[in-house]
Structure 1
Amino acid sequence: MKLTKPTILLVLVMLFLHCSNYLFGQLANESLESDINSIIREWDNKNSPGGIIGVIKNGEMIYSKSFGMANLEYDIPISSQTVFRIASLSKQFTAACILLLEEKGKLSLHDPITKYFPILPEYANTITLKHLIHHTSGIRDFFKLAELSGHQVSDNFSDEEVMELIARQNTLNFVPGEEELYNNSGYFLLAQLVKITSGKSIREFAHEEIFLPLNMENTHFHDNNKMIVKNRAAGYSSSTNGGFEINMSNLSIIGDGGLFTTLEDLTKWQNNFFNNILPVKDFQNRMFNRGKLNNGTVLDYAFGLEHGNYNGLPIVSHGGAFVGFRSEILMFPEQEISIICLANLSNIKPHIINKKVADIFLRKEYSNLSGSVKKVSYSDSKKSVKLNSNIFNEYQGKYELSNGIVVDISAQNDQFFANIIGQTKFEIFPESANKFFVKDTDLQFSFMQGNSSKLHLILVHLYGKIVLGRKLKVESQFSEEVLHEYSGTYYNEELNIAYRLLIENAKLFVQVGNKPKQAIGLISKDKAVLEDSMAEFKRNKFGQIQAFQLESGRVKNLIFVKND
């Protein structure tokens, strides 16, 4: 067959276009891989734990990338079939079970919880299932209660032990519906509720009603710590010698956490948000439905999910953190895009990684935003400077913010840290002699000199908001005569635990069971700071100490009565 000149030209044009598309596509893919690799480079090797990233568009996976090792002992790399513990990311599955039960007519979100849990004290009459869903119940967090009782957070407990611990609490953190405070007890109770109303454990119910219909073959609520899980990732933390150490738990409490799953299965879960496969009408809107306080204030927290905004775009997300595992699902509902990151190393931050990935995949959406929208790029990190340790020594101490939160500023081995009392300690980096930042966030600390040369103020900056604080004068050393009135044994009936306050070398310490002693720093005559708690001493009309009230993160108003 003889080709004419026009035919040859047409073939050449088509060939050119094909080659061009291939070349541009290849360049685009190379650019994408380069951008992603810059985010995960630290862990993308055979000697480090790592994670996996997935980008889903309208329920379909459009990009995935695994990095690091699922098991360092056996040199097993992470893959899309690797099973991760996802901690509090599990809460949305528990919430979905409750919606399915409501759809079946087994319960109402307005039911008082005493309808199902008569063991709970009288105060529970005013708590509804909705309060549990949205963290507005006022019930104390069982993890923190266990910790205050002398247990390790990673210890295993039976359902009966947790239920008994919750039932022993005589008071709440606050009146139901008046405040919001994230806690795990509510979702533990919701998991128990599934069994009460369906006759099946939440593991069985979720398997039959969610995981089978969605073909999530490698997902389960892990209620048996002896169970062998194929392709399971080990959890790790960084060790002090510069390597890694195993960080796992035998905990089998589920509902608040405890889901084991894979990136592949979570992709199917995300598909249900946009294509409503499960028999819950308007599933996405039901799950996205926000809670409300008694005064009508609309909360960001929905059904195991939290609303927010990133670079002018509405987002819905939730994360998980427990022992060596970290996880997050970040949804952009209007763009029908979800980004998932699962990790098996405790210092990997999926909520930061996901936003950096969003910066790559949503560039076009960002460019269409109004100029008035302040854009944040998690890919741009500030540079830290070398700081004279003598300067930082002046900043070290505890600061009370205007909102009542206490922040502890400390140093260790030429590193600087901030610890919100009752929460997790995190590293801060000097930007200048008096300004510090937290990597990959908008959180900043500024130190100023007050009216006295020895008084420092702290300004905490977060997303355009500034909170002022003042340095507390912690009197760590008194005469034994002065300290004597604080010493003694203090008992709390709700925890069934005694705290022993004792004096050593003119310093005050607290001893809880067999745990190491902790120093107590007196802020004033009747206020003291423990390692991660605040205590306020209560006196009778004669000025004698009778008790102290303890607040520690997700637990408030615990009264310890002095016995001697």
Structure 2
Amino acid sequence: MRRSHYVWGIGMVAVLLAVAGAFSGCGDHERAALRADERPAEPVDSSIQEFLRAKIPSGPGGTVAAAHDGGLVHCRGFGFADRELRIPARCDTVYDVMSMTKQFTAAAIVKLEMQGRLRVSDPISEYLGPVPADKRGITLHHLLTHTSGLDDEQGGDDYEPVSRDGMLKVALRSKLQSAPGSEFHYSNLGFSVLAAIVEKVSGVGYERYLATNLFAPAGMTRTGYVLPRWKRDDIAVEYDEHGRSQGRPNEHPWASDGPYWYLRGNGGVLSTPRDMFLWHRALEGTGVLSDGAKRKMFKPHVYVGERDGLKAYYGYGWGVVHARDRWLVEHDGGNDWSFGEFARFPDQRVMVFWISNQAYSEGRWNLDEQNVELTFGIESRARD
């Protein structure tokens, strides 16, 4: 299984929060189950809810969360997290956040810089030892901005049992797509290399570093690979576009401490919508990352492209987009059976997070029009 690459980089600049395109095949009985599952512990904004009812066609399962001014104003599931057991999707359902994982890897790197243990301008050879001549110019900044030239096609399947050192050997011997720093080429492999550097510099496992330095200070107890010890029924089952079960994300081939290294660091982190809200709230303050570290992460370092008036750039593990007179920082995640999006409007202090446990088929919905309408529709209602 190969994950989709970052949608801004393939000309789909408008693909933000593709809820309408992500859900297909759910019947009225699932909508009834959704209504029956309303609970006081899950905040529901009536304006957002009515907007979603009108915009989201019938589909399997997922959750939409929205926050404004530091508060979670809406966090509600729809459909089923597990169709067979008829477990409703909820605010605390555990999902694979896929390539949204990259923001955690980027945050780990800038956190290590805050701690004086590395600099983003450092060449990778400082942490990986001797590297081939064509890769001596690659810096951590290049990996963070997808300008290293590393080619994902040189790697393997997400679930191929490759070790950290095995992944690094493949990355270092691969042929570059372009000279370091010269072009944007979205690279999952590059973020796996960053995860390896996190381990080498910190002296602890990648997930352990995230848990101790990012998640715990943010209050996130239900985010990670294996450390949270979720109950099985808390984790959403994933379905392909034909509705066939693909099992839960941690039921695919994994090592004992998380995904193998073609996925680790670039994807595969499990989290809940409520924990993603806590991450957003941490990013609004300085308890986890300093203002200087966040400026580096959210700076539009590399121009990606423009479509329909939306100009897209890439920061460190985040897309940075200027659209409809607003700046937003965002990242999507997608694979063969799930899709999701995390978007923050810093000036409006709004967060929108949605995720689906079934893949969308691009040809079945007008994604460009629906996604932008949905994104800004939720954003505008969250701050009203």
* Bin of the TM-score, shorter chain as denominator length: 0.7 to 0.9
Asked if the contact 1:40/1:67 (under 8 Å) is kept, the reply is: no
Distance across 1 between alignment mates of 2:68 and 2:90: 20
Unpaired runs of 5+ residues, structure 1, are 1-27, 367-564
2:374 aligns to what? 356
1:162 match: secondary structure: helix
- Equivalent pairs counted in the alignment come to 319
1:289 is displaced (CA, Å) by 1.9
1:172 is displaced (CA, Å) by 1.1
1:428 aligns to what? none
Residue 33 of structure 1: which of 49, 68, 93 is its match? 49
1:285 is displaced (CA, Å) by 2.0
Rg: which structure is higher? 1
Matches within 5 A, 1:407-486: none
Matches within 5 A, 1:8-407: 32-43=48-59, 48=60, 50-118=61-129, 120-141=131-152, 144-146=153-155, 152-169=157-174, 171-222=175-226, 231-239=234-242, 243-246=243-246, 249-251=252-254, 252=259, 253=261, 254-292=264-302, 300-347=313-360, 355-362=373-380
Matches within 5 A, 1:514-529: none
Deviates more, 1:67-76 or 1:152-161: 152-161
Higher fraction of strand: 1
Identity of aligned residues (%): 25
Asked if the contact 1:58/1:274 (under 8 Å) is kept, the reply is: no
Deviations 1:354-391 (A, max 9, x none): 7515225427999xxxxxxxxxxxxxxxxxxxxxxxxx
Asked if the contact 2:45/2:74 (under 8 Å) is kept, the reply is: no
TM value normalised by structure 1: 0.52
CA shift in 2, pair 1:222/1:87, >3 Å = farther
1:91 match: secondary structure: helix
Distance across 1 between alignment mates of 2:379 and 2:180: 41
1:160 is displaced (CA, Å) by 3.0
CA shift in 2, pair 1:58/1:232, >3 Å = same
Distance across 2 between alignment mates of 1:270 and 1:355: 22
Asked if the contact 1:235/1:323 (under 8 Å) is kept, the reply is: no
CA shift in 2, pair 1:35/1:222, >3 Å = same
Distance across 2 between alignment mates of 1:129 and 1:119: 15
Higher fraction of helix: 2
Distance across 2 between alignment mates of 1:94 and 1:267: 18
Which amino acid is the alignment partner of residue 159 of structure 1?
Answer: R
Asked if the contact 2:146/2:185 (under 8 Å) is kept, the reply is: yes
1:299 is displaced (CA, Å) by 7.6
Asked if the contact 1:39/1:353 (under 8 Å) is kept, the reply is: no
Asked if the contact 1:327/1:343 (under 8 Å) is kept, the reply is: yes
Asked if the contact 1:56/1:62 (under 8 Å) is kept, the reply is: yes
Distance across 2 between alignment mates of 1:348 and 1:260: 23
Asked if the contact 1:326/1:348 (under 8 Å) is kept, the reply is: no
CA shift in 2, pair 1:189/1:200, >3 Å = same
1:447 aligns to what? none
Asked if the contact 1:81/1:264 (under 8 Å) is kept, the reply is: yes
Which amino acid is the alignment partner of residue 307 of structure 1?
Answer: V
Unpaired runs of 5+ residues, structure 2, are 1-43, 304-310
Which amino acid is the alignment partner of residue 185 of structure 2?
Answer: L
2:91 match: secondary structure: coil
Asked if the contact 1:324/1:345 (under 8 Å) is kept, the reply is: yes
Asked if the contact 2:241/2:337 (under 8 Å) is kept, the reply is: no
2:85 match: secondary structure: coil
Which amino acid is the alignment partner of residue 298 of structure 2?
Answer: F
Distance across 1 between alignment mates of 2:182 and 2:237: 40
Asked if the contact 1:154/1:323 (under 8 Å) is kept, the reply is: no
Distance across 2 between alignment mates of 1:30 and 1:279: 34
Asked if the contact 2:241/2:361 (under 8 Å) is kept, the reply is: no
Which amino acid is the alignment partner of residue 286 of structure 1?
Answer: K
